[in-house]
Amino acid sequence: MLALDVQLARPGFALRVTQEFAPEGVTAVFGPSGAGKSTLLRLIAGLERGAAGHVQFGGEVWQAPGVFVPPEARGVGYVFQDARLFAHLSVAGNLRFADRRARGLPGPSRGEVVEMLDLAPLLGRRVGGLSGGERQRVAIGRALLGRPRLMLLDEPLAALDAARKAEILPYLERLCTLHGLPVLYVSHDLAELARLAHRVVVLAAGRVAAAGPLAEVLADPALAGVLGPRGAGAMLAATVAAHHPGDGLSELAHPAGRLFVPLIAAAIGARVRLRFAAEDVMLARVRPDAISALNILPATITALAEAPGGVAVGLRIGPDAAQARITQRSARALALEPGAQVFAILKTVAFARDDLGAAARLDSHPAP
């Protein structure tokens, strides 16, 4: 367990975080630019020395009044946005440097890391000749060969274009299931987090605005103003039921009904999770017919809250929490209230392929 009770003051900014993080799996640290996400990771790693308070990991006190464990003694693997590789060394040299320093510590072997991140073709190359995605794979490999007890990833995909992001995301998915290693993953991109994270801590202006299972936080109408219309929404766990290549669609089975999404590369029977934004959901009091939308699921209203420009409507779709964003006029016209039965209408084209993640793990997880 990682436990924090820290505060840090800077001109124009103050961080105040009291939070416990789960001892395994991936916890996302999400929030707008300037919320304090990177500062929080630097503080955990020991790279930020101006904070007051306590940092404790696995029973060890890393920071307290009169106590400060230096970064190199904390057992933290840190992956920055800009990779920060040793330019004078080859890929093999970068990996060898970390491997030698951590010799004797438990963790993955050099061969395991090379295989997991597909680094064998890169070993003889110089860092300067690598693409952005390749550099980040090497940076992750070097961090893993430090045999860390905790991994911190600070927006590792932020500097990459869409193609490079698509290239590296499968490797990050493998990393996030490695040996139960706890991972804190900073990003402002919810499509990334929907694929990788199980829990989330939302920061706003240096404070924790929310924390809990990712699916529940995204669907909470009370957080609509913090998450924004593209952040708020839902993640649904489903099973691949069929593929329809002629239509360019995959068919998913969900407890509330069938869903059609853009064609995905997943085997029949595979578990997937899909994210959609609150503003992409329409609501109806009766099931519509003669409509182009393919995804129409029965839902129950759980809560309503004011949101910028409208109303955030909390929903329960089968076992999953969800959220819609509609206008106040529509909410009045439909006479919406908690407990009301409605139909949630989701346009198939609203699902981007980045919003479809493999190996759904949306079952119960401890709060971060």
d(C-alpha 297, C-alpha 312), whole Å: 18
Task: Taking residues 239-246, report their average pLDDT.
Answer: 94
Q: What does the domain layout of the chain look like in residue ranges?
A: 2-218, 233-358
Q: What is the predicted pLDDT for the residue at 367?
A: 31
CA geometry: angle at 52 spanning 184 and 202, to 5°?
35
| Long-range pairs, 172-176, Cβ under 8 A, ≥24 | 172/140, 172/196, 173/357, 173/358, 173/359, 174/116, 174/117, 175/116, 175/117, 175/140, 175/144, 175/151, 176/25, 176/26
Banded pLDDT at 360 (limits 50, 70, 90): very low
CA-closest candidate to residue 195, choices 209, 181, 183, 207: 183
- pLDDT, tens digit, for every residue of 282-304? 999 999 988 888 999 999 999 99
Q: Which residues contact 99 (CB under 8 A, 6 or more apart)?
A: 110, 145
- pLDDT, tens digit, for every residue of 12-40? 899 999 999 988 888 999 888 888 999 99
Does 349 have pLDDT greater than 80? no
Q: Which residue has the tokens 């109408």?
A: 221
Q: What is the predicted pLDDT for the residue at 186?
A: 93
What is the pTM for the complete model shown?
0.80
Q: What is the predicted pLDDT for the residue at 106?
A: 79
68 vs 87, higher pLDDT:
68
CA geometry: angle at 321 spanning 162 and 266, to 5°?
45
> Domain 2-218's class?
alpha beta
Q: Which fold has domain 233-358?
A: OB fold (Dihydrolipoamide Acetyltransferase, E2P) (2.40.50)
Does 70 have pLDDT greater than 50? yes
Q: What is the predicted pLDDT for the residue at 243?
A: 94
What is the dihedral angle through the alpha carbons of 237, 285, 277, 261, rounded to the nearest 10 degrees?
50
Dig out the tokens for 149 from the structure: 């007890």
